Amino acid sequence: MEQFRDTLATRLLKVLPPTTLPIKVWWQDESRFGLHTISRRRLTLTGIKPVGLRQHCFQALYLFGIVAPATGETYFEAALKFNCASFQRFLDAFASDHADTFNIIVLDNSK
């Protein structure tokens, strides 16, 4: 981790296009808030799959967030779905709010 931190600035300067805007590095993550379906235990014989009612419908709220550790700045936005379209809307809104800087966003590589 220390090697990554120490060499990040020089590696970024090699690949970034020339810009007069100040450069900011942001770290992004998302969270899901809502009710998960709860499966209760069922007693059955060994090898027999338990049968029971299950509630599959739930409501959730997804919170996208970006933090600039160097300055402590944050940017958050909520969405009802987590998909490519909602993430793109989040990035577009972030870009329009921070158009005065060249922003580098480090994603968490979640799947």
Give the 3-state secondary structure of residue 106.
strand
Q: Is the pLDDT of residue 109 over 80?
A: no
Q: Is the pLDDT of residue 49 over 70?
A: yes
Q: Which of 78, 63, 73, 71 is nearest to 29 (CA)?
A: 63
Q: Residue 36: what pLDDT?
A: 67
Q: Are 72 and 95 in contact (CB under 8 A)?
A: no
Torsion-angle region of 47 (φ positive above 0: left; ψ -120 to 50: alpha; else: beta): left
Q: Is the pLDDT of residue 70 over 80?
A: yes
Measured distance CA(99)–CA(111) in Å, rounded: 28
pTM value is 0.68
